[in-house]
Amino acid sequence: MAFIRKWTRQNICESREGIEAFKMSDKIINMSLNAVCPYFTMFPLKFPYSILSHHANPGDWIIDPFCGRGTTNYAGRLLGLPSIGIDSSPVAVASSEAKLANVAPDAIIEAAEQILSEVKIAQDVPTGEFWDWAFDPSVLNTICRLREGLMRSCLLDSHKALRAILMGALHGPRGKIRQSYFSNQCQRTYAPKPRYAVKFWKSRELQPAFVDVLEIIGNRAHRYYQQLLPSCGGYILHGDSRAQETYLHLSDGPKIKWVLTSPPYYGMCTYLPDQWLRLWFVGGPSNVEYSTNGQLEHSSVAGFSDQLRKVWKNVGTICRPDARMIIRFGGINVRNVAPMTVLKESLKNSGWKIQTLKSAGFASEGRRQAVHFSKSSNNALEEYDVWAKWEG
Ligand SMILES: C[S@@+](CC[C@H](N)C(=O)[O-])C[C@H]1O[C@@H](n2cnc3c(N)ncnc32)[C@H](O)[C@@H]1O
């Protein structure tokens, strides 16, 4: 489907759900659960995993103040390390929470059945041309019943896992034999923009198919939660990492040794509208809102660096004296700014001192989604990994 981006997307390499494992030394690292819900601009699991597996000690705490879909948290979990994630997007939070859930597939399926037995009639079913074309009516009804049940309460791990599974299955390509998404033909990573999507479906006479929601949940529950993973401490916070209040109750907790993160690249400000359908599922509006609620502002380089500096200072307040911060950062070619100028500026007077700065390659390399979306490797800008130490 031709919802092609005009600009380069941040470094991504394992967005295709088919790629489920990578090899580190002799060990196969299972990354099925990391793909529970598509997200964009995440870094490859191998990036945080290899840093932590080489440098972290048992009991070290990790934080990612821009956790996105929780790649850092998942890497920590695979190594039995506790972690905290912060993100201002409810979709990111819901996806990251599922990475820490300790649950077996059957409990997820039971949770779905239980909700459907309790919420017999959906109170809030969105209407309009987009919804008529996007989902078969009875499928939409079942999705809405599950949505309402999860909006009432989503504290149990089985519910957190179910929510991420449903978000992941909400929209995506139609299968030739077996269906694994609820929607009419769509991209899985980006939410369809209603006007274009309806035009696309109408012009191809693509009616939404009936799919068995519970069967899709069951298949996905087994795919993502079959393997028992180490349980580790940690949690995900829905909040603005620029705001001191977000860290208030963290100051009494364990001190952080590793800050591993990738902030939005300068100019990348469409996290919420690009995920509007999954945002609706976790309680947002049933239309695209071009809001930047809680997201970094991208109006000037100086302003952007100032906001990042606030985040670096904030995380410093909950770090150990020997803490290390590793930031992956790059740029998009629609903003003609050298990424390292932005990042270095943000680290000035932040309490963090740069130790090393290394190229992480180009976003066009490998299977990164930059290529998938931009269709032109010329759009890819070089990415960097910056290591800094906390000096307070
Ligand atoms: C590049 S993505 C992080 C991806 C992550 N490394 C992963 O692998 O999934 C940046 C994230 O920053 C979040 N974000 C933007 N502004 C924020 C803010 N002020 N506070 C917290 N999170 C923010 C966005 O919602 C987005 O999920």
Interval 277-330: pLDDT, tens: 999 999 999 999 887 889 999 989 999 999 999 999 999 999 999 999 999 998
Distance CA 120, CA 275 (A): 28
Q: Which of 208, 225, 242 is the last residue of a domain?
A: 225
Query: What ligand 1 atom has the least distance to the C-alpha of 307?
Result: 19
Q: Is 10 inside a domain boundary?
A: no
Q: Is the CB of 92 under 6 A from ligand 1?
A: yes
pLDDT tier for residue 230 given thresholds of 50, 70 and 90: confident
In angstroms, rounded to a whole number, what is the distance separating the alpha carbons of residues 48 and 31?
Answer: 13
Residue 295 near ligand 1, beta carbon < 6 Å? yes
- Mean pLDDT for the chain overall: 88
Alpha helices (H) along 16-104: 46-55, 71-78, 90-99
Structural domain boundaries enclosing 85 = 21-102+229-390
46: left (phi over 0), alpha (psi -120 to 50) or beta: alpha
3-state helix, strand, coil split of the chain in percent (to 5) is 40, 15, 45
Q: pLDDT band at 384, cuts 50/70/90?
A: very high
Q: Does residue 199 share a domain with residue 241?
A: no
**Which atom of ligand 1 is the closest one to the Cα of 71?**
8
Q: Do 243 and 386 sit in the same domain of this protein?
A: yes
Q: What is the pTM of this model?
A: 0.91
Same domain? 110 vs 214: yes
Q: Which of 225, 254, 285 is the last residue of a domain?
A: 225
Q: Which residues make beta-bridge pairs with 234?
A: 83
Residue 12 lies in a domain: no
Q: Report the distance separating Cα 223 and Cα 151, nearest Å.
A: 24
Looking at residue 33, which CATH number applies to its domain? 3.40.50.150
Q: 86 with 174, same domain?
A: no
- Element of type H or E holding 258: strand 256-261
Q: How many domains does the chain have?
A: 2
- Tell how far the Cα of 240 is from the centroid of ligand 1, in angstroms: 10
Nearest CA to ligand 1 atom 26: 68
Asked if the model's pLDDT at residue 84 lies above 50, the reply is yes
Residues 263 and 328 in one domain: yes
Q: What distances in angstroms separate CA 237 from CA 64, 118, 150, 211, one per listed residue? A: 10, 28, 18, 34
Write the residue with the smallest CA distance to atom 8 of ligand 1. 42
Task: Choose among 52, 389, 126, 101: nearest CA to 227.
Answer: 101
How far is Cα 264 from Cα 97, in angstroms, rounded to an integer?
20
257 assigned to some structural domain: yes
389: nearest Cα among 342, 306, 322, 341:
322
